[in-house]
Amino acid sequence: MTRIGLVACLALQVTAALARELIPVQILAPTVEHFRDIVSNDTYDFGCRAIAHPTEDGRFKVHALLTRDQIAYLNNEYRSVHDITIDEQSLAKRQRAASAPIGTGDRFQSGTVAPVGLGTRASGTTIPSIMNVNEISSAVNALVKTYGVTSFNLPYKTFNGATQFAAYVGAGSDTSKYHLYLSAAVHARERGGPDNLIYWISDLLAANKSGSGLTYGRKSYTNAQVKSVLSAGIVFFPLVNPDGVAYDQSTGSLWRKNRNTASGRSGSSVGVDINRNFDFLWNFKKYFAPSTSPASTSPSSETFYGTAPASEPETKNHVSIYDKFPKIRWFMDIHSAAGDILYSWGDDDNQATNAAMNFRNSTYDGKRGVVNDGTYREYIPSADATAIKRVADATVAAMKGVGSRSYVAMQAVGLYATSGATDDYAFSRYWAKPGVNKVYGYTMEFGYSTNFYPTLTEFNQNILDTNAGFMDWALTAISVGLE
C-alpha cells in the first residue's frame, strides 16, 4: 500500500510552506519499490511517515513537502530512468480554501465552561475554530470542574518553560484501574489532535451524566457502551508539544518539532522530533542497516532524534505516565495526516516464528529496517499480532462508517523503518523492562495526506471520524482484554 504524494491543503498552508521553501507535492511511481531510494533520504519531509497508497490508474503515490531544488533534483534523477514523477497540480480545491481558524481568547472562560463535543449535539452542528494552546488547558480545567476529571502536572518543564499536564477519568482514584492511554500533538503542525481528544472525553462525560448515547455521522453508540469505555479508565495527555504548537499557531510555518535550541539556534536546526526520541532502537546508526534512515542525526532534519534517548522533557513526561498508571494496556497516539491506523512494529516487517530475532538481540545490530528482505524481521507473538490487528481493523471500520471517508489499517513500518516512536516504545516496554505491563501501541493518522492545516469543514469531519474511531478502538480493546 504505497504511493507517494506530499500534499498540503489550504491557501494558508501553501503560503506557509512556500515561506519555508516547502511545496506540497505527490511523488508517483509504478511500484512501491520505486520509492525505496527516495524515502531513505532523511532530508526530505514526508509528513509523519512515508506511506505509499495506490492510485486509481494502478500506480502509487507518496506525499511530501519539498523545496524547489529537491523537486528539480528528483525530476532530473528519477523521471526518465525510473518513471517517477512529481505532481504539483494535485493540490486540489481543499488547498485553495481557507484553513480552520485558531481560536482567539478563551471560549472555556478560565475553565468554567465545559467543552461540548459533536457526539452530543444535533447533526450538522459545527465547532468554529481550533483550540489555541491556552484553550486546551482551559478546556481540561473545565472538565475537571464540571465532571470531576482529575488532572495533574507532569514532572518536567519544556524547553520554553511550560508546565505540562495530563488527566484521567472513569475508574476512580486507583491509578492501577486505568487501561487506556491517549496522547496528541506530538507534532506541532498536525492541527486538531488535541481538539479530537478533548471533545471525545467531553462527549463521554456528558452522555454518561445525561444517560444518553453518542452519534458521530452514521455511527451511534449506546449509553451502556459509553459507560463501558469510561469504566476501562482513560488517561489522556492532550498537548505533548506545547512549545511547538504555540510556535506553529503563531507563524503558520508547518512546524513539526519541539523548540529546543540546544542543537541549533535558528531556522530548521531548532528542535527535536519527539516521535523519534523514545527509547526504542534510538541509536539507529548502531541498530539499523546503513541503507536505512529511520530517523536523522541532523538538527536541521524534520526527524532529528535528539542528543540521547528521551533527551526531551516532552518525551520524559510521556513516559512518566506509564509509571503512574502501571496497568495501561492500550495506547493511541493521535497524528495527522494520512488516513491510516498504524500498529507495531515500525522498525521492520513482523514475523511470529523466530523469537530470537528481536530488537534486543545484538546479533542483528546493523541489519534491521530493510523492508521486504529476508535478513531481519521483528518478532511479535501471533496472539499479539492478532489482537493488535483486530483492534486496528475495528477502529478503521468505525472511522469509515461515520461518512465513508477512506482509512486504512496497516503495520507502522510502511515504506521505511522508524526508530524512537511512541507506539513502538509502548509495545517494546514489556520486553525491555522487567515487570512492566504489556501495552499495545497505535498511531492514528486522521485526515487527508499531509493536510496538516484542515479547512473548517475538514476539521469538524476529523472530530467525527476520530471520535467514532476512539469509541470502537476502546470497545474492541475491552473485548480483547484489559488485563
pLDDT digits (tens, 9 = 90+) for 148-168: 999 999 999 999 999 999 999
The percent of residues above 70 in pLDDT, for the chain, comes to 92
Higher pLDDT, 437 or 48: 437
- 325 in the Ramachandran plot: left (φ > 0), alpha (ψ -120 to 50) or beta? beta
CA gap 333, 420 in Å, rounded: 13
Whether residue 347 is contained in a domain is answered as yes
CA gap 10, 337 in Å, rounded: 13
Other Cβ atoms closer than 10 A to 343: 27
Whether residue 64 is contained in a domain is answered as yes
Residue with cell 482484554: 481
Q: Is the pLDDT of residue 404 over 80?
A: no
Tell me the residue range of the domain where 13 lies.
Answer: 4-92
The C-alpha angle 450, 453, 458, rounded to 5 degrees, equals 95
| Secondary structure letter of residue 105 according to DSSP | S
Which residue type occupies 229?
A: V
Sign of CA dihedral 17, 20, 79, 450: negative
Same structural domain, 419 and 480: yes
Q: How far is CA 466 from CA 41, 72, 178, 332, 367, in A?
A: 31, 37, 21, 11, 36
What pLDDT sits at residue 30? 87
pLDDT (mean) for 328-347:
95
Same structural domain, 22 and 119: no
Q: 56, 71, 92 — which closes off a domain?
A: 92
pLDDT (mean) for 346-358:
97
Whether residue 97 is contained in a domain is answered as no
Residue 86 sits in a domain of what CATH number?
3.30.70
Which range is least confidently modeled, 345-349, 399-403, 414-418, 477-481?
Answer: 414-418
What pLDDT sits at residue 94? 45
Same structural domain, 265 and 411: yes
Phi, psi (rounded to 5 degrees) for 2: -155, 135
What pLDDT sits at residue 184? 98
Q: Is the peptide bond before 337 cis (omega within 30 degrees of 0)?
A: yes
What pLDDT sits at residue 324? 98
What pLDDT sits at residue 157? 98
Same structural domain, 108 and 16: no
Whether residue 246 is contained in a domain is answered as yes
Same structural domain, 57 and 175: no
Mean pLDDT of the chain: 90
Same structural domain, 297 and 219: yes
Using an 8 Å Cβ cutoff, are 317 and 238 in contact?
no
The percent of residues above 90 in pLDDT, for the chain, comes to 73
Same structural domain, 307 and 453: yes
Same structural domain, 39 and 156: no
Span between the terminal Cα atoms of the chain, in Å: 33
Same structural domain, 44 and 111: no
Burial of 318 (0-12, 13-18, 19+ CB in 10 A): buried
Using an 8 Å Cβ cutoff, are 417 and 473 in contact?
no
Q: What is the pTM of this model?
A: 0.90
Q: 45, 70, 92 — which closes off a domain?
A: 92
Same structural domain, 79 and 160: no
Q: Is the pLDDT of residue 64 over 90?
A: no
Q: 64, 92, 120 — which closes off a domain?
A: 92
Which range is least confidently modeled, 36-40, 72-76, 365-369, 422-426?
Answer: 36-40
Whether residue 85 is contained in a domain is answered as yes
Phi, psi (rounded to 5 degrees) for 391: -70, -40
Query: In 407-455, where does DSSP find H-type helix?
Result: 422-432
**Total domain count, the chain:** 2
Same structural domain, 40 and 162: no
Which range is least confidently modeled, 4-8, 409-413, 426-430?
Answer: 4-8
What pLDDT sits at residue 96? 52
**What amino acid positions are annotated as catalytic residues?**
445
Whether residue 209 is contained in a domain is answered as yes
CA gap 260, 263 in Å, rounded: 7
Residue 434 sits in a domain of what CATH number?
3.40.630.10
What pLDDT sits at residue 263? 86
Same structural domain, 281 and 411: yes
The C-alpha angle 306, 311, 312, rounded to 5 degrees, equals 90
Whether residue 364 is contained in a domain is answered as yes
Higher pLDDT, 96 or 202: 202
**Extended strands (E) in 362-438:** 378-379, 408-411
